[in-house]
Amino acid sequence: MKKKGAIVSVIALAALAGGCSQSRERKLVRSAAEAIGGATRIQTIKTLTIEGEGDAPNLGQNITPDAELPNWKVTGYKRIIDFEHRRMRTQQRRDAQFLFAGATTQRQDQSLDGDVAFNTGEDGVARRVSDAAAGDRRIDMLRHPVAIVRAALEPGVKLSNLRSETGRDFVDIDGLTLGIDQESHLPAFVKRTENNDNLGDVEVTTSFSDWETVNGVKLPRRLTTKIDTYPQFDLRVSKNTVDGEIGDLAAPQAVRASEAPKGATPPSVEAQEVGKGIWWLAGSGNHRSVLFEFEDHLTLFEVPLNEARSAAVIAKARSLRPQKPLTEAIVSHHHFDHSGGLRTAVAEGLTIVTHRGDVEFFEELVARPHTLVPDELRRHPQPLKIRAVDDQLTLKDKSMEVRLYHVIDNPREGTLLFAYVPRDRMLVQADLYDSTWLQHPWADNFLWNLKMRHLAVERHVPVHGTIQTHAEVLATLRSKGALSGE
């Protein structure tokens, strides 16, 4: 009898321990699972297919910093998630709803097979992409209520930091936050703090709405993703399919056997003297800078792309004339591939010269936190020194004259500055013309601005593309049918 009582006590203690291990966080996740269709149902789903269309705004490429973002119209969207094998494939077509110098229709086919990420080109050939891309896609797979709740139900997954606010409960799941509606218990969103090279620490949030029931599972027909307050992708689902036919999502053997591309290689910068006291800083990539030598200082046109590129450009510029300080950086406009080195230039103590319409936005970029991936400005804070240009500004001493002009009425670039050196009849510009562009939708505006400013340009030294004479530029534009009336 005594032995039987001991057994009962052990069973009771085990039950109590089980109840204690059912944390408040886990109970919250299970309530979300029940609202969707039940934990067992969710855990037995093998595949999920999502089809629809949407809008994908182009972050960092608006006409002015406060203008609406230009949009890619997404059609033929299809995402397949194979939970059983940890695979995913996303296919879509997107069409530019804005003036664009590249292909205005693009087709994308991106896959994940466990730890292997690969893209399939329009030629049908699959090519492995970086391990970083694989990591991003694993996170992206979790931006769906079934995927995130299913992951949260797995044993050993860390759930923490239960909290509530404005009708929602929140729980952290291995670096992501799941928001759950207190009334319906349905997942409201999943978000994660990530690094953006230009914006620093950002919250990427995908919200779920417009639910329907498919095979006993509630699924959203709308998924809306934002980077902070910036819209990134608004997907309107036309069809959800649970456990349908999906085909083979496995990475081809040749892809799996290949090595993932390594991270970005250190940028190379080559200096070509293109005039007395003027250097074209080219090298790897298609983002160049131009250095101007004045009597007692140096001025750089463009700190582009990112910290690595701009730091290399600044170092090369200083090496060309070490006896003179580099004091200024002209940032042609706010687009992210051209302002990517803004914080680097500020950290180096340079005065930023830019159009007045960029000033407030640049102040914001310099002030934003960069804690996840600390950059030079985060490590060594410096105040922003900025010189605003309205219509034009002349930088001049007895050694050099550089005139800066604001581009008027351009349909793609609202705050763009270009430079003209009258001594050499040299034009330095970004995003007005590139000899390698597929098309030139604002060619007429480009040439009109030169004519309106009464500039006798003989040589083009660009940020993008190759150095050409003005006659060669005109010939290129004519060959692509870019000039109206010809």
Sequence-distant (6+) residues with CB within 8 A of 57 are: 68, 69, 70, 71, 72, 230, 231, 232
Adjacent-strand bridge partners of 189 = 179, 207
What CATH number does the domain containing 467 carry? 3.60.15.10
Examine the domain organization and report whether 249 and 279 are in the same domain: no
Write down the pLDDT at residue 264.
Answer: 81
Write down the pLDDT at residue 6.
Answer: 43
Examine the domain organization and report whether 60 and 197 are in the same domain: yes
- The domain of 313 spans 269-479
Q: How far apart are CA 160 and CA 170, in angstroms?
A: 9
In the structure encoding, which two tokens stand for residue 90, read together?
A: 């996303």
- Which residue, 257, 290, 323, sits at the end of a domain? 257
Examine the domain organization and report whether 318 and 442 are in the same domain: yes
Sequence-distant (6+) residues with CB within 8 A of 365 are: 198, 199, 339, 342, 343
Whether 482 contacts 473, CB under 8 Å: no
Whether 63 contacts 250, CB under 8 Å: no
Write down the pLDDT at residue 486.
Answer: 66
Examine the domain organization and report whether 295 and 393 are in the same domain: yes
Write down the pLDDT at residue 3.
Answer: 41
In 305-414, alpha helices (H): 307-320, 336-339, 342-347, 359-367, 376-379
What CATH number does the domain containing 169 carry? 2.50.20.10
Examine the domain organization and report whether 248 and 332 are in the same domain: no
Examine the domain organization and report whether 409 and 386 are in the same domain: yes
Q: How far apart are CA 39 and CA 212, in angstroms?
A: 18
Number of CB atoms found within 10 A of residue 10's CB: 10
343 within domain boundaries: yes
Strand ranges inside 298-428, DSSP E? 298-301, 326-330, 351-355, 386-389, 392-396, 401-406, 417-421, 426-428
- Which residue, 209, 234, 257, sits at the end of a domain? 257
String of DSSP letters for 5-44 = HHHHHHHHHHHHHHHHHS-HHHHHHHHHHHHHT-HHHHHH
- Prediction pTM value: 0.93
Examine the domain organization and report whether 167 and 301 are in the same domain: no
Whether 468 contacts 292, CB under 8 Å: no
Write down the pLDDT at residue 215.
Answer: 97
Q: How far apart are CA 484 and CA 481, in angstroms?
A: 8
3 within domain boundaries: no
Of 454, 457, 443, the closest CA to residue 485 belongs to 443
Examine the domain organization and report whether 324 and 369 are in the same domain: yes
In 89-180, alpha helices (H): 131-141, 145-153
The distance of Cα 312 from the centroid of its chain, to the nearest Å, equals 22
Per-block mean pLDDT, blocks of 10 residues, the chain (486 long): 40 37 86 98 98 98 98 98 98 98 97 98 96 97 98 95 96 97 98 97 98 98 98 98 97 97 92 98 97 98 98 98 98 98 98 98 98 98 98 98 98 98 98 97 98 98 98 97 85
